[in-house]
């Protein structure tokens, strides 16, 4: 396993354990976080706030994770399936009633000095909305 994919594997392992500090330790201080179908947030503290918002509304586990690396080991990508439960209303989204969902997702990473400098997350928001509307 390359150093970039080992770093991303450590990041996702921390995510699945709910160890936010271990996740944050994988990031540069100025990490760029591209939120799915949203805006870019910059900095480790902004990412900490994002994790707090997510932790309030969702309980998620990533399964079937496949990691890919760039030829120069400065980029990586991941594909996975998110298995989750919608716990509390999130702004602009349908009401939460404990609905369960599973949907494919992916992310792209830039690596700098042994840490993640950019995370761009992607999943089909309309698929998620349809699943929680049914649930």
Q: How does DSSP classify residue 99?
A: -
Supply the pLDDT for residue 97. 96
Both tokens of 7, joined, read: 């770093």
Helix (H) or strand (E) segment spanning residue 101: strand 100-112
Supply the pLDDT for residue 135. 67
Token look-up 């997350």 returns: 121
Nearest to 86 by CA among 62, 63, 57: 57
DSSP lists the bridge partners of residue 81 as 63, 104
Supply the pLDDT for residue 27. 98
Supply the pLDDT for residue 53. 93
Supply the pLDDT for residue 38. 85
What are the sequence ranges of the domains in the chain?
A: 3-134
Both tokens of 44, joined, read: 């480790």
Supply the pLDDT for residue 37. 83
The pTM for the full model equals 0.93
Nearest to 111 by CA among 71, 68, 76, 65: 76
- pLDDT by residue for the chain (135 residues), tens digit each? 679 999 999 999 999 999 999 999 999 999 999 999 889 999 999 999 999 999 999 999 999 999 999 888 899 999 999 999 999 999 889 999 999 999 999 999 999 999 999 999 999 999 999 999 986
Supply the pLDDT for residue 46. 97
CATH topology of domain 3-134: Nuclear Transport Factor 2; Chain: A, (3.10.450)
């Amino acid at each position: 396993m390359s150093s970039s994919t080992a770093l991303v594997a450590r990041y996702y392992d921390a995510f699945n354990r709910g160890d936010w500090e271990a996740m944050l330790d994988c990031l540069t201080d100025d990490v760029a976080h591209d939120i799915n179908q949203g805006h870019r947030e910059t900095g480790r503290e902004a990412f900490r706030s994002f994790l707090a918002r997510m932790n309030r509304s969702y309980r998620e586990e990533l399964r079937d994770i496949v990691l890919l690396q760039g030829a120069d080991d400065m980029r990586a990508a991941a594909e996975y399936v998110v298995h989750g439960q919608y716990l509390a209303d999130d702004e602009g989204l349908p009401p939460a009633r404990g609905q369960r969902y599973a949907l494919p997702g992916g992310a792209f990473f830039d690596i700098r000095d042994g840490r993640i400098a950019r995370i761009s997350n992607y999943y089909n928001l309309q698929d998620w909305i349809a699943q929680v509307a049914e649930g």
